[in-house]
Amino acid sequence: MFNKILIANRGEIACRVIKTARSIGIVTVAVYSEADADARHVRMADEAVLIGPPAAGESYLVAERILAVAKKTGAEAIHPGYGFLSENEDFADACEREGIVFIGPPASAIRAMGLKSASKALMEKAQVPLTPGYHGDNQDPAFLASQADAIGYPVLIKASAGGGGKGMRRVDAAADFEAALASCKREARNAFGDDDVLVEKYILQPRHIEIQVFGDTHGNCVYLFERDCSVQRRHQKVLEEAPAPGMTPERRAAMGKAAVEAAKAVGYVGAGTVEFIATQDGKFYFMEMNTRLQVEHPVTEMITGLDLVEWQLRVASGEPLPLSQEQLEINGHAMEARIYAEDPERGFLPSTGRLVHLSPPPVTDFVRVDTGVEQGDEISPHYDPMIAKLIVWGEDRRQALDRMRQALAQYRIVGVSNNVDFLARLVAVPSFANAQLDTGLIEREHALLFPPAGDVPAEVWLLAALAELLREQRLAQKKAVRSADPDSPWHTFDGWRLNGRAGRRLMFRAGEVAQDVGVAVVAGGYWLTLGAQQILARGSLGADSELQAQIGERRLRAAVVASNERRHVFFEGRAWPLAVVDTLHVGGAGEEVASGLCAPMPGKVVALMVEPGARVEKGAPLLVLEAMKMEHTISAPRKGVVKAFRFAPGDQVSDGAELLDFEGVE
- For 157, list phi and psi in degrees, rounded to 5: -95, 130
Measured over the CA atoms of residue 8, residue 11, residue 13 and residue 17, the dihedral's sign is positive
* Nearest residue (CB) to ligand ADP, 208 versus 357: 208
CB distance 397 to 333 below 8 Å: yes
Task: Between 159 and 551, name the residue whose CB sits nearer to Mg ion.
Answer: 159
Strand ranges (E), 151-282: 155-159, 168-171, 197-201, 207-215, 221-233, 236-242, 270-278
- Which residue from 196, 228, 384, 468 is in contact with ligand ADP, where contact means CB under 6 A? 384
**Closest separation in Å from C-beta 610 to ligand ADP:** 45
Cβ closest to ligand ADP, residue 200 vs residue 216: 200
CA quadruple 129, 132, 133, 134: dihedral, nearest 10: 50
Residue 298 near ligand ADP by CB under 6 A: no
The residue range among 5-13, 272-280, 322-330, 517-525 that interacts with Mg ion, by the rule CB under 5 A, is 272-280
* Residue (of 168, 173, 170) closest to 184 by Cα position: 168
Instruction: Decide whether 255 or 277 has the Cβ nearer to ligand ADP.
Output: 277
- 405 tagged catalytic: no
Contact residues for 56 (Cβ-Cβ < 8 A; gap 6+): 33, 84, 382, 383
9 binds ligand ADP (CB under 6 A): yes
Q: Which residue's CB atom is positioned nearest to ligand ADP?
A: 83
Pick one of 131, 304, 417, 419: the residue that binds ligand ADP (CB under 6 A): 131
Q: Where are the alpha helices (DSSP H) in 81-173?
A: 89-97, 107-114, 116-125, 141-151
* 196 SS3 class: coil
272 binds ligand ADP (CB under 6 A): no
Rounded to the nearest 10°, the torsion over CA 192, 196, 198, 203 is 30
Nearest to 3 by CA among 32, 24, 30: 24
Please check whether residue 115 is in contact with residue 160, taking contact to mean a CB–CB distance below 8 angstroms.
Answer: yes
Nearer to Mg ion, 275 or 342 (CB): 275
Strand partners, 137: none
Taking the CA atoms of residue 58, residue 59, residue 60 and residue 63 in that order, the dihedral angle to the nearest 10 degrees is: 80
Q: Which stretch binds ligand ADP (CB under 6 A): 161-169, 453-461, 571-579, 582-590?
A: 161-169
Q: Does 83 bind ligand ADP (CB under 6 A)?
A: yes
Nearer to ligand ADP, 96 or 443 (CB): 443
d(CA 451, CA 426): 12
With CB under 5 to 8 Å by kind, the binding choice for 10 among ligand ADP, Mg ion, none is ligand ADP
CB of 204 to ligand ADP, least distance (A): 8
Shortest distance, CB of residue 246 to ligand ADP, whole angstroms?
Answer: 17
What is the nearest approach in angstroms of Mg ion to the Cβ of residue 210?
A: 8
Q: Specify whether the CB–CB gap between 67 and 61 falls below 8 A.
A: no
For the bound state, the minimum distance from the C-beta of residue 82 to Mg ion, rounded and expressed in Å, comes to 12
Q: How far is the CB of 164 from Mg ion (least distance, A)?
A: 8
3-class DSSP string for 280-327: CCCCEEEEEEECCCCCCHHHHHHHHCCCHHHHHHHHHCCCCCCCCHHH
- The C-alpha torsion from 442 through 444 and 445 to 446, rounded to 10°, is 80
Give whichever of 147 and 294 is closer to ligand ADP, judged by the CB atom.
Answer: 294
Cα end-to-end distance, the chain, whole Å: 86
Q: Which of ligand ADP, Mg ion, none lies near 114, with the C-beta cut-off 5 to 8 A by kind?
A: none
Binding of ligand ADP by 235 (CB under 6 A)? yes
When binding is defined by CB under 6 A, the residue of 106, 162, 344, 361 that contacts ligand ADP is 162
Which of ligand ADP, Mg ion, none is residue 418 near (CB under 5 to 8 Å by kind)? none
Pick the piece of the chain touching Mg ion (CB under 5 A) from 271-279, 304-312, 342-350, 470-478.
271-279
User: What residues between 171 and 230 interact with ligand ADP by CB under 6 A?
Assistant: 200-203, 206, 208
Question: In angstroms, what is the C-alpha Rg of the chain?
Answer: 29
Query: One of 111, 292, 368, 567 is an active-site residue; which one?
Result: 292
Binding ligand ADP (rule: CB under 6 A), the pick from 195, 196, 216, 288 is 288
Look at residue 621 and give the partner it binds from Mg ion, ligand ADP, none, a contact being a CB closer than 5 to 8 Å depending on partner kind.
none
Span interacting with ligand ADP, options 171-179, 283-291, 303-311, 525-533, rule CB under 6 A: 283-291
Nearer to ligand ADP, 233 or 567 (CB): 233
Question: In sequence order, which residues have a C-beta less than 8 Å from that of residue 426 and are 6 or more positions away?
Answer: 231, 238, 239, 432, 442, 445, 449
Interatomic CA distance for residues 655 and 25, integer angstroms = 60
Contact range with ligand ADP by CB under 6 A, out of 28-36, 78-86, 247-255, 645-653: 78-86
Q: Angle, to 10 degrees, between the axis of helix 63-73 and the axis of helix 89-97?
A: 30
The H or E element spanning position 622 is: strand 621-627
Our finding on whether 316 is near ligand ADP (CB under 6 A) is no
**Distance, CA of 446 to CA of 617 (rounded, Å):** 42
Nearest to 29 by CA among 41, 40, 37: 41
Partner whose binding site includes residue 294, from Mg ion, ligand ADP, none (CB under 5 to 8 Å by kind): ligand ADP
For residue 439, state whether it binds ligand ADP (rule: CB under 6 A).
yes
Q: Taking the complex as a whole, how short is the minimal distance between the CB of residue 393 and Mg ion, in angstroms?
A: 25
Footprint on this chain of ligand ADP (rule: CB under 6 A): 9-11, 13, 82-84, 131, 156, 162-165, 200-203, 206, 208, 232, 235, 237, 275, 277, 287-288, 290, 294-295, 384, 386, 439
Q: Which residues are catalytic?
A: 292
Footprint on this chain of Mg ion (rule: CB under 5 A): 275
